[in-house]
Chain A
């Protein structure tokens, strides 16, 4: 009844990437996806006829370019549409609008602050240097610093050698970002509150931190690690939304020979004497394979698909206390026409990329306050995007789809629950949009509210945490998802992990799937050169 060399549990983007690499290496690979569509949290759904929503994840940046090449994604329709602009209302009717032209951006900053004009260049250069220093760690499996065998020691030596090559000043910046707050980091460069607010927006995405909290620097750096076409920190819409991207991944994996089975929810991973045998679906079907790879988050990978009694107690403890606090939701709109920003009535060009509603650091920090005490922000931070401006296939001519990432929205509400609060949560987001775009409500043809609970129910991400495990220092690199288990293996022979809860997830990045694939293939064919060799 077998016939598979490897079974990948979960058809999210990392599962598909992993299946692509395994199939490319000749393994008979099966992907099991619980839903009727692959993509996990990166899906596009036609919620209303003619309107395609990026239900959850809504843009691309972190995706590693190597994957595009190695899996031949262009052949299967990979098409990132670079965002030409970033739009940041300053809360007083004004705005900051940054685009592709460096000198015009400097003037735009200077319009708000003469001081910040040259700081802008210095800021980006310093951040680029940090990214350059961290990138080799990002693109390779974390060394097992707790391991004693020669391969582990060689990996650690590689790490130390690399760190030793980083300039002193850059290394200091690395540590300041990894441990400090975005606010402190930004204050070294900028004085204008809106300029700081603009740059702080990526420091809190999906994370239970405010821009003044230590740890927000790490989130800011993480979001700068992405790139498109060689531009660090740049973002793109994939053609057809992020669901368009995961469809490309699915086609690529299938072209390499992988089989994708939809509507197949895995109940347990079958084991015998510390080895995996395959999986059992919830309907009782057993599928056998010597390799099983979980693309689910670490909670589900270790504590649901396996009996925790099969695992070392310290691993179970670490996974139990790993933080998955989802703090964000989505409010997606079908719009009759583009919203109007009063200061820019006759142009569409400020809608080419992100619309960043979080005028100042203080605004965002105050939005965070509610989350600390178990409630959602009355005036939330919103990262909005109207992809139909650059991708007209998503909406009927002249109409638009607007994706709004809304934060803060803690998974655990104090004194209520998300099914009760859904409408009101949508209303608070819409009210903020109405403040910035008067008449917004009249344009709304349809509204879809996605709470953290909805994220969990639909995608399986624990507590609706979009990163499959928060981006906290004790949950990163060789500690992700748990000390000693950062190299995609598990204590069960033949059972691997490749989800965003492993290094260097989250975001739509693909690297966990790729690096786990390399690990598996090396374990199957010992003697192939090591990760850093």
Chain B
């Protein structure tokens, strides 16, 4: 039986299209209007709301909760203060990435972990004799992402304390008489917040946000807009950019944190003595420089793209819908060797370029390295010039800035 989220009673009324996908067993809107691009622009230029409730939510608490998470997660949770949020990964013993998620630290001994896939069993097995309790509270809460340049003004009109909420911090507040957690987090690469609310209060809180947003051009956005936003923001997606290492058949299918572009999470692990799952393998990889790939952005040469299509008698396509398949990258100098692949690819309206998230040989990770991207033009394979670039490709100052 397909499930619905706590916001569904209201959001389904606003959905003029009846187009849903299934996200972890829940109905999730692909788009709310005929124009997903309009929803995308609401986030880049005004404010949008996205129902992110299907994420799994685990409450982790007890005297050893911090010690437990320090041993399970790649980033050191001890550096995450109360009131802070931390984006993190967890790995298998071979140092390959299983999943990613966000931890909100509510107190010395209480945390909330969100994850895209169920993972309670794995975490429980790790708890062993530690004094820590893990609870699956997924269905008890709705999560509403409120994203875009106007998100702060909209939420601050309901909760003035949001005005000064710093990037990656969270606080407790009250909206429509309901207690909520507001975090300055999101999956769009823009200024944005996520509001976690108990399921029974979800519709009231959503209504309050939509009402407050009325004069600010607020609109709900669906998964199609979200995909555009997250690719521009360089945010990887499980089962697109990588697969859970436990569910992969070969190491070729697996990636390490460094290969996934999360090397920044590993700063300091050469020196500290925190044991965590995958640590030895990750240290070996770093000292031996054995990473197979580097995650980068690719930006297509616009003139070459146009020429390739025009010469074939076609109008050059500029499609903002992500391509659902991998494209191969080749060495630009020799033209022969495969040097990587893209995992996501689209035409970015704010960057006015075809862009991709890609994995390339580590020696090509310097921004501006030249590669050739394979594509199909008129039923033939063709290659278009592209260059690598640092991630994220779109990084507005407002994302992390104070008011």
A interface residues with partner B (beta carbon < 8 Å):
65-66, 68-69, 73-74, 78-82, 84-85, 99-101, 104, 128, 132, 229-232, 239, 349, 352, 389-392, 396-399
Contact = CB atoms under 8 A, between A and B. Distances in A.
Contact of A230 (B34, B214, B315, B351): B315
A317 B51 CA distance: 66
A239 B44 CA distance: 11
B124 interface: no
Given A65-B302, A84-B33, A392-B150, 18 more contacts: A74-B350, A81-B45, A100-B34, A101-B34, A101-B35, A229-B347, A230-B315, A230-B316, A231-B318, A232-B315, A349-B33, A352-B35, A390-B38, A390-B217, A391-B45, A391-B217, A392-B46, A392-B217
A151 B38 CA distance: 47
B45 A229 contact: no
B279 to A, nearest CB: 41
Interface string B305-344: 0000000010111111000000000000000000000000
B34 A81 contact: no
A230 B303 contact: no
Contacts of A132: 313, 315
A229 B320 contact: yes
Nearest to A132: B315
Nearest to B153: A397
B216 interface: yes
Contacts of B315: 128, 132, 230, 232
A445 to B, nearest CB: 15
B352 A389 contact: no
16 contacts: A65-B352, A66-B303, A69-B353, A73-B352, A78-B352, A79-B45, A82-B38, A84-B35, A85-B34, A229-B352, A230-B316, A230-B317, A352-B38, A390-B38, A390-B46, A391-B46
Contact of B351 (A66, A74, A399): A74
A82 B349 contact: yes
B26 interface: no
Contacts of A397: 214-216
Given A132-B315, A229-B318, A79 B35 contact: no
A392 B318 CA distance: 27
Given A392-B150, A397-B216, A104 B350 contact: no
B35 A389 contact: no
Nearest to B351: A74
Given A68-B352, A69-B352, A349-B33, A230 B347 contact: yes
B223 to A, nearest CB: 16
A66 B303 CA distance: 8
Contacts of B34: 84-85, 99-101, 104
A89 to B, nearest CB: 19
B35 A85 contact: yes
B350 A79 contact: yes
Contacts of A398: 214-215
Nearest to A230: B318
B37 interface: yes
A399 B35 contact: no
A1 B319 CA distance: 52
B353 to A, nearest CB: 8
A23 B244 CA distance: 52
Contacts of B302: 65, 69
A391 B47 CA distance: 10
A229 B44 CA distance: 16
Contacts of A229: 318, 320, 347, 349, 352
B38 A399 contact: no
Contacts of B20: none
Interface in B28-72: 33-38, 41, 44-46
Nearest to B218: A392
A390 B347 contact: no
A240 to B, nearest CB: 10
Given A65-B352, A69-B302, A69-B352, A82 B41 contact: yes
Please indicate which of the listed interface residues B16, B34, B37, B150 has the most CB atoms of chain A within 10 Å of its own CB: B34
A349 B219 CA distance: 10
Given A74-B352, A398-B215, A399-B215, A100 B319 contact: no
A230 B45 contact: no
A84 B217 CA distance: 14
B351 A100 contact: no
Nearest to B309: A230
Nearest to A239: B45
9 closest A-B pairs by CB: A397-B215, A230-B318, A398-B215, A84-B35, A84-B38, A100-B35, A101-B34, A99-B34, A392-B217
